[in-house]
Amino acid sequence: MNVALCDDDIIFLENLKNKLSQYNCSIFSFSSAEKLLSSSICFDIAFLDIELDNNISGFQIVKALRNNNKKCIISFFTNYNKYAIKGYEYQPFRYILKTEPEKLIRQRIDEVFTEYHRNQKIISGTYNGYSFRTSLSDIYYISISNHVVTLHTTKGDFELYKQMKDLCDELSDCGFLRCHRSYMVNFQHVHVMRSDVFFVLDDQKHTTIPIGIRYKYIAEDCYLKETSLGE
């Protein structure tokens, strides 16, 4: 597991590197965006400062990292809440305020590594004589019709016989939410929520997933937790 750190505050960068020393990973620290962008290493996780002195923001680094590894988990460090809304188009996993208490910062970091390990999980099945395997992070959303579950993924659609309830139990702690009797969404791919639908960033760009009335409040609560600063 390769982890990139990028911050022009050398003291903060060293402190962050020390915090990550407990994890089983290779750490690469960069004091400028140019140094990070010139690296040929494929990173699995990146902790980026949003504001860098050289006028290249953490936002601008994301595209290059995702070109090398589309599953790279991005976490932004910032001193300001105002950047949270702007940055969600880059689909970061976490925003971490530098001014948060040390205990909370360590908790946020731990959540990032937990997410990485979740993304390594595989779901497999057999349907009509063919077998498939796909990682959870590749699933945009899940639907069910006529007792057949369809996993809508980056690699296409996969079908299997399974109860939606069983999938809910299996995936509830992996960033998935049942938002309708016939749908589950992967919050990793949710772009925005409206009162009655989730907009999922998938191959169709913005697929709308309905939110059932009985799931409305839990959907709102989960969405707010996922998109709140530092949560």
Q: What is the CATH number of domain 122-227?
A: 2.40.50.1020
Confidence of residue 85 (pLDDT cuts 50, 70, 90): very low
Supply the pTM of this predicted model: 0.63
Do 2-119 and 122-227 share a fold? no
Confidence of residue 88 (pLDDT cuts 50, 70, 90): very low
Question: In the chain, what are the domain boundaries?
Answer: 2-119, 122-227
Segment 18-40 shows an average pLDDT of 90
Instruction: Give me the DSSP letters along 42-61.
Output: PPSEEEEES--TTS--HHHH
Residues 116, 136 contacting (CB under 8 angstroms): no
β-pair partners for 199: 192, 208
Q: How many CB atoms lie within 10 A of CB 5?
A: 24
Closest of 77, 7, 71 to residue 42, by C-alpha: 71
Q: What is the CATH number of domain 2-119?
A: 3.40.50.2300
Confidence of residue 25 (pLDDT cuts 50, 70, 90): very high
Closest of 183, 119, 118, 177 to residue 150, by C-alpha: 183
